[in-house]
């Protein structure tokens, strides 16, 4: 019997499975009848009571548009959250006192060209359907599909405009978002597949959070002498990480893949001398552990002999 599972690679990764998801699998060529504009009666109604988790590219794109350093953006406009079904920390948009997105006014979204990936997808979602092969040596079968979200308040579905899902993706700039988010999303899905029984250490969580949300701090770490003494960099690559936020973000995904998830082909290479030092340190730690174990054994043996002696003397006195 084969096993079947659905893996999400879209906003639904961070949302529960609501009843307003239409039970129909769509393709890139499926037709979508939908249009959102200031003239529709529900305009911006979907921007309240929402849960918009931000990807690293969302954060980078929005804060650059606002001309804010990462830390200020995070403090003013986000709140911490765990990515659904994982122990990976992230952030979501901090709603205002009325429960609405702080970037939305009666006239619409003030950061519309830089809006999050979740907003770009709505009312479409994308998922992967994975089926395990009958033979474990064969690759799993993966099928990409789309679905439609229809909420009662949304009147955009009553508009006349019709286009394919492919055209919708192009119109909303989803391809760029998905491309930039791809490696990070794969890490989240990998973590999600481990289940609740696996837990990350607190230092690993802090590193994941920093690399995913605060490129300013991550750049400080990458440019530090200790980091550069540990990992191999050529000067050209280092210059890109120093100046280019997108390159730094993409590097952060490879860094997380190698250091937290142990993915070997991440392109991050430890310097040979540091590797030798690490091996030597591990050997010293092992030797010290063996020495401590031997000393502990001798102490226990000594205590055991002392106890035998005391028991023997007690018996003699009791005669």
Distances (CA, A) of 60 to 92, 115, 184, 202, 254: 14, 11, 14, 25, 17
Q: Assess contact for 153 and 46: CB atoms under 8 A.
A: yes
- Write the pLDDT tens digit of every residue in 271-285: 555 444 544 555 555
Least confident range from 2-11, 30-39, 277-286, 288-297: namely 2-11
H or E element at residue 221? helix 215-223
Q: Is the pLDDT of residue 17 over 70?
A: no
- Write the pLDDT tens digit of every residue in 210-241: 999 999 999 999 999 888 888 888 888 889 99
CA distance 144 to 130: 9
Question: What is the mean predicted confidence (pLDDT) over 280-297?
Answer: 61
Question: What is the mean predicted confidence (pLDDT) over 24-39?
Answer: 91
CA distance 288 to 291: 5
Q: Rounded to the nearest 5 degrees, what angle is found at the Cα of 240, between the Cα atoms of 239 and 242?
A: 65
The predicted structure's pLDDT at residue 134: 59
Distances (CA, A) of 200 to 38, 86, 89, 251, 290: 45, 10, 11, 21, 28
Q: Phi, psi at residue 131, to the nearest 5°?
A: -120, 120
Q: Is the pLDDT of residue 94 over 70?
A: yes
- Write the pLDDT tens digit of every residue in 126-173: 876 655 555 555 555 556 789 998 888 899 999 999 999 999 999 999
Q: Is the pLDDT of residue 259 over 50?
A: yes
In the block, which residue shows the tokens 């391809």?
175
Question: What is the mean predicted confidence (pLDDT) over 16-21?
Answer: 59
User: How confident is the prediction for the chain on average, in pLDDT?
Assistant: 81
The predicted structure's pLDDT at residue 197: 67
CA distance 123 to 65: 25
Q: Is the pLDDT of residue 69 over 90?
A: yes
The predicted structure's pLDDT at residue 11: 44
Question: What is the mean predicted confidence (pLDDT) over 238-262?
Answer: 92
pTM: 0.76
């Amino acid at each position: 019997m084969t096993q079947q599972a659905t893996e999400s690679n879209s906003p639904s990764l961070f949302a529960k499975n609501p009843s307003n998801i239409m039970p129909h699998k769509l393709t890139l060529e499926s037709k979508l009848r939908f249009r959102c504009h200031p003239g529709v009666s529900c305009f911006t109604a979907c921007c309240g009571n929402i849960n918009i988790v931000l990807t690293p590219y969302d954060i980078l794109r929005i804060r650059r548009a606002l001309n804010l350093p990462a830390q200020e953006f995070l403090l003013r406009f986000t709140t911490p959250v765990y990515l659904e079904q994982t122990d990976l920390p992230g952030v979501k948009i901090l709603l205002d006192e009325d429960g609405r997105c702080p970037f939305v006014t009666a006239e619409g979204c003030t950061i519309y060209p830089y809006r999050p990936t979740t907003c770009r997808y709505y009312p479409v979602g994308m998922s992967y359907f994975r089926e395990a092969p009958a033979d474990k040596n064969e690759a799993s079968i993966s099928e990409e599909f789309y679905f439609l979200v229809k909420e009662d308040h949304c009147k955009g579905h009553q508009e006349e405009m019709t286009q394919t899902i492919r055209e919708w993706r192009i119109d909303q700039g989803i391809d760029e978002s998905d491309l930039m988010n791809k490696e990070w999303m794969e890490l989240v899905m990998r973590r999600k597949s481990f289940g609740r029984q696996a837990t990350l250490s607190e230092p690993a969580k802090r590193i994941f959070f920093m690399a995913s949300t605060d490129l300013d701090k991550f750049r400080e770490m990458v440019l530090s002498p200790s980091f550069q003494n540990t990992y191999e960099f050529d000067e050209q690559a280092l210059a890109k990480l120093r100046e280019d936020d997108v390159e730094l973000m993409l590097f952060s995904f490879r860094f997380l893949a190698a250091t937290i998830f142990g993915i070997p082909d991440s392109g991050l290479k430890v310097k040979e001398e540091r590797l030798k030092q690490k091996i030597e340190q591990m050997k010293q730690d092992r030797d010290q552990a063996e020495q401590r174990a031997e000393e502990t054994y001798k102490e226990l043996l000594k205590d055991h002999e002392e106890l035998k002696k005391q028991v023997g003397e007690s018996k003699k006195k009791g005669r």
